[in-house]
Homo-oligomer: A and B are copies of this chain.
Amino acid sequence: MKKENHNINLKNSNLKVTPQRMAVLEALNNLKNHPTTENIKEYVVKNHPNIAVGTIYKTLETFVEKGLVKKVKTEKDVMRYDAIIENHHHLYCEDSERIEDFFDDELNNMLEIYFKKKKIPNFKVKDIKLQIIGTFKGNKS
């Protein structure tokens, strides 16, 4: 099921289905919380020791180009990846590296209406992402 989805994703993007690409997709699916490049490298190398590191970099680049994954904007110096393409916002924990997805259609509507009414001079709005900074209650991860 999951493997089939991967096949479909790759084929839709006119990418050949290779074991290396499957391995990177597997990593993206199994690593939660917006993995860093290092997280992904580690996972892939662990599970598929014969895959070259350069290939992982190249594969990620290809996926970003094709829109299969997105890069997450972050305050730290490391890049993170997001396997979910649907429109969503991010919750950033002040105390940890945790980043969670946040879906809220009501909020999206409100923002859309707001920016339809209130134009920004010389700027055409195409998309809006919220970075909601705060702290998670309870479990410290």
Please report A residues at the B interface, Cβ cutoff 8 Å. 70-71, 73-77, 79, 91, 94, 100, 102, 104, 106-107, 110, 114-115, 118, 120, 122-138
| Cβ contact within 8 Å between B128 and A94 | no
| Cβ contact within 8 Å between B136 and A122 | yes
| Cβ contact within 8 Å between B134 and A94 | no
For this chain, the copies found in one complex come to: 2
Q: 23 A-B pairs, CB-CB below 8 angstroms? A: A70-B75, A71-B76, A71-B77, A73-B73, A73-B75, A94-B126, A100-B123, A102-B120, A106-B118, A110-B114, A115-B132, A120-B132, A122-B136, A123-B136, A123-B137, A124-B134, A124-B135, A124-B136, A125-B133, A127-B134, A128-B130, A129-B131, A130-B131
Which residues does chain B contribute within 8 Å of A138, judged by CB atoms?
122
| Cβ contact within 8 Å between A134 and B129 | no
| Cβ contact within 8 Å between B91 and A123 | yes
CB-nearest residue of chain B to A91:
B123
